[in-house]
Structures are given as C-alpha cells and as structure tokens.
A = this chain, B = another copy of it.
Amino acid sequence: MKIRKLAIIGVGLIGGSLARALRKAGVVEEIIGCGRGRENLEKAVELGVIDRYTHDIGEAVQGADIVFLAVPLGAMKAAFTAMKPHLLETALITDGGSCKGSVVADAREVFGEVPANLVPGHPIAGTERNGVEASFAELYENRRVILTPHAGNTPEAVARVRNMWEACGAEVSEMSVVHHDEVLAATSHLPHMLAFGLVDTLARMKENDEIFRYAAGGFRDFTRIASSNPVMWRDICVANAPALSRMLSAFAEEMNELAQIIAAGDGDHLLEVFSRAKEARDRYVDGLQTEQSSE
C-alpha cells in the first residue's frame, strides 16, 4: 500500500483522522486538504495533518491517486461535480458517508453512471466532536469499515481501498448499499433520533431547567450523541429517509405498545422485555470485549 498523493475533501474528525492514521502508518507521501474554513485548514497544516490546502476541489484532486470525501452527505453531489473535470483517469474515489444509497445516486447523476473507480465506504467510528483538532490517528484502530462496492468496480479498486483502511488498523467488510443503509438506520441513525428527540422533548417541557438539573449520570451518557453536528444529521436523515422513517415508525409503535403494557400494569410482560434487552445488551458488550482483547 502506497499513496503518492491523497486529496482529503473535508478535513474534520473523519478526514483528519484518516490523514493522521495513514501518515502514522507511513503509507502516504503527500496530503492535500480541501474545505471551506480557512482557520480549520491552517490548523490542519500546523498540526501536520495535511501538507497544504486549497478551497478549490478541482485543484485539490489534480494529480491525486486517492480522493477521500468526508463532507456532509448534502454536499456530496456538489463535490462530485466540482472534481469531475480534474480527476486523473486512474484516481480512486472513496468516501466516509453514513448513508451509501444517496452517495451512489449523487455519483450516478453527476458522472452518468457510477464510476468504476468509486468504491463507496463507511468507517463506523466517530465521536460527537468536530473539526481537525478532534481528529486522532487511532480513531479507526479495531473499528469496522464497511465498503459497498458495485458491479462496475474492479477487484483491484476495491482491494486498494480495503488496504488503505487496513493500514489504519480497521477491520474491513463488504455489503450491499441497501443492506448497509438498513443496518446503519438501526444501529446509528435510529439511536441518534431517540437522543435528539428525547432532549428536544425535555427541552420543550415547562420548567425544563429543573428537568435537566435532576437528570442523572445515565442521562448524560444516553444523550451524548444528541450533541452531534445537526447539519450532518439533517443530511443523514434526508439521505437515508426511506429506511430511517420506516425504522422510526416501527420504534414509535413499540413505544406505544410499551405505554399500554405499563398502563395495564402487566409486570410479567415488562419483565420479559427488559430481561431480553439486558441479555442482548450484555451479550453485545461481552462480544465487543472478547473481540477487542483478541486483537
């Protein structure tokens, strides 16, 4: 694995951490950052995350052998449009978007078909912090990265993107676009909606200052993800609307059922639900620990 020139479009937590990780692994020669905020980009140079920067996507991708897109999903199409005339024919394009259906649709619209050199990807990693200062080289270590290759990809293109992520310490797997978007709706997008929704519900209650004052530590953990970037999440919701709205309706239905069980005082039924959930949660955490300690 050797990257001569890497263009990172969007130098925040995700893009910045990829740059740092590849640099740490010693597999990249030159990194060009591209974004809108001058201050963040200057900070990125100062921190050694990127070598230089430009605000122009076309300029950024010139001569790049890998282009990594880490922009909000709503900005993907404009980014594809801007880079299109300037890409090397051999340039590999990949991204970090949390929904893959919209990225593929945007690419198809801009390029006429999904480019053979575009291998959509998604690192399952992140914190609720933003900006290059939040980035760190170890973000992807032992974390999963999902690639959603398409029929037009060559095995070499897919292998090269896989190698890039493996150089960061990630564990790479592949699945279809549709399956990815369903899995992510369940495991990430839905929980974020619950956290945003819960905090918003409480914030709209009378005496909400008092409400928050009495919230305990568990509440803090539970709502941490509600501090995530609202623009990014708006874009994810719009991009993954079909899978996510279906999931949310199903969850609302489950909550209504739970409300009825509680109102009816059906303790046996409650115990069954809570026990099944605790068992699944404990099994999941055990699995996670076994996995991490074996790596």
Binding site for B on A (CB under 8 A): 74, 124-128, 143-144, 146, 183-184, 186-188, 190-203, 205, 208, 210-231, 233-235, 237-238, 241-242, 244-246, 248-256, 258-260, 262-263, 265, 267, 270-271, 273-278, 280-285, 287-288
Say yes or no: A216 contacts B125, CB within 8 Å. yes
* Copies in the assembly, this chain: 2
- In the assembled complex, which residues on chain B have CB atoms less than 8 Å from the CB atom of A208? 280
Asked, given contacts A146-B214, A237-B270, A274-B196, whether A201 binds B250 with beta carbons under 8 Å apart, the answer is yes
- Which residues of chain B come closer than 8 Å to A196, judged between CB atoms? 273-274, 277-278
| Contact assessment for B226 and A281 in the assembled complex, using a CB-CB cutoff below 8 Å | yes
A258 touching B254 by the CB < 8 A rule? no
Tell which of B188, B248, B282 touches A219, judged by Cβ atoms closer than 8 Å: B188
Q: Across the interface, name the chain B residue whose C-beta is closest to A280.
A: B203
In the assembled complex, the Cα of A200 lies from the Cα of B245 at a distance in Å of 18
B256 adjacent to A249 (CB under 8 Å): yes
B205 touches A186 (CB 8 A): yes
* 5 pairs of residues in contact across A and B, judged by CB atoms under 8 Å: A203-B276, A215-B284, A223-B284, A237-B262, A244-B262
User: Taking each of A146, A211, A255, A259, which has the highest tally of chain B beta carbons within 10 Å of its own beta carbon?
Assistant: A255
Contact of A220 among B183, B253, B278, B285 (CB under 8 A): B285
CB atoms of B262 and A251 under 8 A apart: no
B124 & A214 in contact (Cβ 8 Å cutoff): yes
User: Given the complex, which residues of B lie within 8 Å of A277, measured CB to CB?
Assistant: 195-197, 199-200, 203, 226, 230
Question: What is the CB-to-nearest-CB distance from A239 to chain B, in angstroms, rounded to a whole number?
Answer: 10
Chain B residues closer than 8 Å to A265, beta-carbon distance? 238, 241
With a cutoff of 8 Å between Cβ atoms, the chain B residues found around residue A219 in the complex are 187-188, 191
B220 touches A222 (CB 8 A): no
Contact partners of A202 in chain B: CB under 8 A: 186-187, 280
Least CB distance from A169 to B in Å reads 15
Out of B197, B250, B260, B283, name the residue touching A251 (CB < 8 Å).
B197
B259 and A214: CB pair below 8 A? no
A55–B191 CA distance with the chains assembled, in angstroms: 43
